[in-house]
Amino acid sequence: MKLKDVVERLHLSVLTGQDRLDQVVTGGYASDLLSDVIANSRPNSVWVTMHIHENIVAVAVLKDLAGIIIVQGRQPAPETLQKAAKEKVVIMVSDLPAFETIGKLSPLFEGGT
């Protein structure tokens, strides 16, 4: 599945990395503890989080994540967007809370990552 398909199915707003939506996504990871994401997320996954501060960008870069989905319609800080644009990290926003966002995301990847 391509990232643009995830964007379409979940009705996400893409704030940065619009030119990277053709990349393949193999799964997802949801957590608001950065150490957990660093330790346990897998490359090419999308990360679902509440966080909007700039430190989420480095986590996505280090783990080769396909992108970050910020939930609850929260708007990232300007520094986050600036950094994400520089590092070519895709930041997307879901208007739904985490539970519903993950609920819609999860069936897209059933049958293995």
Partner 1 sequence: MKRVTEKTFSQSFSIVGREFFDAGKVSTEIKTMLKELGVDAGIIRRIAIAMYEAEMNVVMYATEATVTLELSPKAIRIVVDDRGPGIPDVELAMQEGYSTATTEMREMGFGAGMGLPNIKKNADHFRIDSVVGKGTRLEISISMN
Give the shortest CB-104-to-partner 1 separation in angstroms: 23
The stretch near partner 1 (CB under 8 A) out of 3-11, 14-22, 34-42, 104-112 is: 34-42
Handedness of CA 58, 61, 63, 69 (dihedral sign): positive
| Nearer residue to partner 1 within complex by CB, 43 or 103 | 43
| Nearer residue to partner 1 within complex by CB, 50 or 96 | 50
Give the shortest CB-6-to-partner 1 separation in angstroms: 22
**CB 59, CB 39: distance < 8 Å:** no
Chain residues 12-31 in contact with partner 1, contact rule CB under 8 A: none
Chain residues 40-99 in contact with partner 1, contact rule CB under 8 A: 43, 49, 51, 53-59, 61-63, 79, 83, 87
**CB 103, CB 4: distance < 8 Å:** no
**CB 56, CB 33: distance < 8 Å:** no
Q: Check binding of 39 to partner 1 (CB under 8 A).
A: yes
Which one, of 18, 39, 43, lies nearest residue 28 by Cα? 43
Give the shortest CB-93-to-partner 1 separation in angstroms: 17
Q: How many residues bind partner 1 (CB under 8 A)?
A: 23
Q: Distance between terminal CA atoms of the chain?
A: 10
- The Cα–Cα gap between 111 and 73 comes to 29
